[in-house]
Amino acid sequence: MFAYTARRIVYVIPIVISVALVCFLLVHITPGDPLVAVLPADASQELAAQLRTAYGFDRPLPVQFGLWLWRALHGDLGSSIATGRPVLSEVMRAVGNTVMLAVAAAIIGFTLGLLFGLIAGYFRDTWVDKLATSFAIAGVSLPHYWLGMVLVIIFSVQLNWLPAVGAGPGGSGAWAWDWEHLRYLVLPAITTSVIPMGIVTRTVRALTGDILSQDFVEALRAKGLRERGVFRHVVKNAAPTALAVMGLQLGYMLGGSILIETVFSWPGSGLLLNSAIFQRDLPLLQGTILVLALFFVALNLLVDIAQAAIDPRIKRG
Amino acid sequence: MSDTALQAAPTTKARGYWATVARRITRDKVSMVCALILILIFASALLAPWLHLADPYQGSMIRRLRHIGTPNYPLGTDELGRDMLARLIYGGRLSLIIGILPVIFAFVVGTSLGLIAGYVGGKLNTAIMRTVDVFYAFPSVLLAIAISGALGAGIVNSIVSLTIVFVPQITRVAESVTTGVRNMDFVEAARASGAGPFTIMRVHMLGNVLGPIFVYATGLISVSMILAAGLSFLGLGTKPPEPEWGLMLNTLRTAIYVNPWVAALPGAMIFAVSICFNLLSDGMRSAMDIRN
C-alpha cells in the first residue's frame, strides 16, 4: 500500500506542474497586453515600460513561468488588482463557502443517487427502475442554473419559504450553524446535488446490474446465503467504482460551482471567479483557477488511494 | 462469382450490422420521440424566417413582460417587450450552433488524435495521452470558464473553449477503442497484405472505432448545450440583442418577480434539447450492443 501511494504521489507531480503551466499561460492567451487591466487608459509609454519591468513581463516566458511557479510554491499568488489584497487569502476564504455548499450537495446527491441506483439495479426493468432511471437522466440533462432559477421562482417568489440569494442575514462573513443561516443553503445545495444524483444513480444501477448477473452471486444464493448477505457482496463489489465516481463528482461540484453561485449570489470561489473575469482581474482569475484545479488533483489522488485501499486488485494493475 | 450472381443468390437475406442497428433504433419509441422533437426544434430554427413570426428584435416599451397566453403573444413578451415565441424559435439558431459545433470540432480532432495515439502507440501515444491527462486535471466547467474568461466574451471564443474541453474526452475514448481494435486479426491481415499505416487506419480501423466514439459524442452534445448556454448565461458567449437561450435566461433573471414563468422558458428549451440528445445517445448505445 505504501509503495502504491508513493507511486501515485510521484505521478501527480508532473500533473501539478502542467496544471500550473496551463494556469500561467491563461494570462498570456488574453488578447492584448497583460498590463491592460493594471494600467490607466492614459498611461504614458514610459510608465508602461516601467510596469512591464516591475511585473517581469519583459523577460522570456520560461523565466517568467519559473519565477511565478517559485512564488506560487511559497504561497504567493500575487495580489488582486481590484482589491489589492493577496490572491491566496481571497481564494481560500471563498473556497470555504464552496466546500460547504459542495459537501451539503454531496450528502443529498450521493444519498439519493446510491438509493435510486441500488433500487433500480435490483429491480431492473420494473416500473421502479424506469422511474429511477428517468430521475437520473433528467438530473444529468438539466441546465442546473435554470433549475436554480425555477426553484427560486417556486420557493422564494411564489411560496416565500426560502431566501433567493446570499449566504445568511449577516453577509458572507457571519455564518452560523442555525436555521436562520441554513435556510440560505437549502436551494443552492439542492440545485447542485441534481447532477451528481443523476450520475451516481446511473453508475450504481449499471454496477448493481452487472454484479447481480455474475456467476458468484448465483453461487452465493445456491449455498443458501440470505438476500441480506448477497446484498453485502454487491455493495463490496460496487464500492470502489462508486467511490471513484463520487470523488470525481465532488471535485466537479467544487470546481464547477460558478454557475450556481452566480444564480444564488453564494459567496464562494465561483462567484469570486465570476467577478475576476468581469473586472479583468487576471491575477485573481489565475489564482482561483490554480487553487481549484489543485483541489481537484488532490481529490483525485485521495480517491485513487482510497480505492486501492478497499480493492487490493487495483494496486497490481 | 460475379456481382450479379452474388446479389441473386441469397434467399434469406442476412442483415448487415448497421442495418440491424438502424432497425433496432427505429423500433425504440423513446429514441424516436426524441428524434422527432429534435427535428422539430432544428427545423423551426432553420425555417424561422418563413414561419410568419414577430420580429425577434423589435421591442416595445408598453408591451413588456406580458404573460403566457396573451392574445398575439402566445408565450408572452420579454423584459424589452419582444415576442417570446419568436425569440425562442430564432434563439435555437445560435444556441444549437454554439452547443453542437464544439462537439463536431472535438469529434474530428479527438478521433484523429486518438486514432493516431492508439494505432502508432509508443512515444507518440505517451505524448498525446499525457497531454490529455493534463486537461483531465481540470473540472470541465472550470476549464471552459477559465479559457473563455481569459479569451474574453464572444461566440467564437466560447466555441473554441468548449472544443478544447471536449477534445481530451473524445481522444481518450478514441484511443481506448483503437487500442482494442489494433490487435485484432483483420488488422494483422491487412498489414501482412502490404497495407500502409494510413490505409489501415482509414480503411480498416476508422469504420470499427467510429461507432462507439459517435455515440459518446452524441451524449456530449447534451453537456455542450448546457455549458454553451451557461457561458452565455454568465455573459461570456453571445452578446445582446441576439436571441440565444442562455443569454435570454440571464436577461430575464431580473423579471422572475414580475413574470416568473416567461423568465423560465428559455431554460426549458435548453433542457428539452439536452435530454433528447441524452436519451438518443442511450438509445443508440443499446441499439449498437447487439449481443444483448
Q: Looking at beta carbons, which residues of chain A come within 8 Å of B151?
A: 29-31
Interface of A with B in 177-236 (CB under 8 A): none
Tens of pLDDT, residues A68-78 = 888 888 888 88
Rounded CA-CA distance A138/A144 in Å is 11
The answer for A 236-275 residues in CB contact with B (under 8 A) is 251-252, 254-256, 258-259, 262-263, 273-274
Q: Count how many pairs of residues, chain A against chain B, have C-beta atoms within 8 Å.
A: 132
Which range among A288-292, B18-22, B43-47 shows the weakest confidence by mean pLDDT? B18-22
Helix ranges (DSSP H) in chain B: 3-8, 17-26, 29-46, 84-120, 122-136, 140-151, 155-182, 185-192, 197-199, 206-234, 245-252, 260-288
- In 3-state terms, what secondary structure has residue B56? coil
Q: How many CA atoms lie within 13 A of B240 on its CB side?
A: 14
Q: How many residues does chain B have?
A: 292
Q: Which of A9-13, A93-97, B194-198 shows the lowest mean pLDDT across its residues?
A: B194-198
Q: Can you list the positions of beta strands (E) in chain A? A: none
| Residue of higher predicted confidence among B255 and B265 | B265
What residues of A are in contact with residue B270 (Cβ under 8 Å)? 143, 146
pLDDT over threshold 70, residue B2 = no
Nearest by CB to B226, which of A143, A158, A278? A143
ipTM of this complex prediction, to 2 decimal places? 0.87
- Mean pLDDT is lowest, of A16-25, A198-207, B158-167, B194-203, for B194-203
Q: How is residue B147 written as a grid cell?
A: 479559457
pLDDT, average across residues A217-230: 86
Q: Does pLDDT of A176 surpass 90?
A: no
φ, ψ of residue B55 in degrees (nearest 5): -70, 120
Is residue A204's pLDDT more than 90?
yes
What does the pLDDT look like over A47-67, one tens digit per residue? 777 777 776 777 788 888 888
Check CB contact of A155 with chain B, cutoff 8 Å: no
* A199 contacts A140 by C-beta, under 8 angstroms: yes
Evaluate if residue B8 carries a pLDDT over 60.
Answer: no
* pLDDT mean over A98-113: 95
**CA-CA distance, A254 to A268, in Å (whole number)?**
10
pLDDT of residue A34: 62
What integer is the mean pLDDT of A172-189? 80
SS3 B134: helix
| pLDDT for residue A317 is more than 70 | no
**Overall average pLDDT of the B33-57 stretch:** 91
What pLDDT score was predicted for residue B46? 93
Q: Which residue of B has its CA nearest to A301?
A: B137
Residue B184 main-chain phi, psi, to 5 deg: -75, 155
Query: Given pLDDT bands bounded at 50, 70 and 90, which one contains residue B1?
Result: very low
Is B242's pLDDT higher than 70?
A: yes
The pLDDT confidence band at residue A272, using thresholds 50, 70 and 90, is very high
Torsions phi, psi for B73 (to 5 deg): -125, 75
Q: Which of A47-51, A191-195, B103-107, B276-280 has the lowest mean pLDDT?
A: A47-51
Distance (Å, whole) CA B223 – CA B230: 10
Name all contacts of B158-161 with Cβ < 8 Å and 24+ positions apart.
B158/B98, B158/B228, B158/B231, B158/B232, B158/B236, B158/B237, B158/B238, B159/B98, B159/B101, B159/B102, B159/B105, B159/B228, B161/B231
A172 in reach of chain B (CB within 8 A): no
The three-state secondary structure class of B185 is helix
B138 with B260: CB under 8 angstroms? no
- Provide the percentage of residues in chain A whose pLDDT is more than 90: 36
C-alpha cell recorded at residue B118: 492508439
The larger pLDDT score, comparing residue B70 to residue A295, is at A295
Contact list in B for residue A158 (CB cut-off 8 A) is 260
pLDDT tens for each residue of A129-154: 999 999 899 999 999 999 999 999 99
Give the pLDDT confidence score for residue A168 in this predicted structure: 73
Tell whether the model's pLDDT for residue A178 goes beyond 80.
no
The set of residues, in sequence order, having a beta carbon less than 8 Å from that of A309 and lying 6+ positions away, is A1
Cβ-nearest to B256 among A153, A274, A300 = A153
pLDDT (average), residues B24-43: 92
User: Is A145 part of the contact surface with chain B (CB cutoff 8 Å)?
Assistant: yes
- Residue B140: CA count within 13 A, CB half-sphere: 18
Q: Which three cell numbers stand for residue A56?
A: 517581469
Whether residue A172 has pLDDT greater than 70: no
The phi, psi pair for B245, rounded to 5°, reads: -60, -45
B252: nearest CA in chain A?
Answer: A149
Kindly state the percentage of chain B with pLDDT values over 90.
42
Q: Say how far apart CA A218 and CA A226 lie, in whole Å.
A: 12
Compute the average pLDDT of residues A259-268.
Answer: 92
* Contact yes or no for B55/B86 (Cβ under 8 A): yes
The predicted structure's pLDDT at residue A259: 93
Instruction: With cut-offs at 50, 70 and 90, classify the pLDDT of residue B170.
Output: very high
CA distance B207 to B202: 8
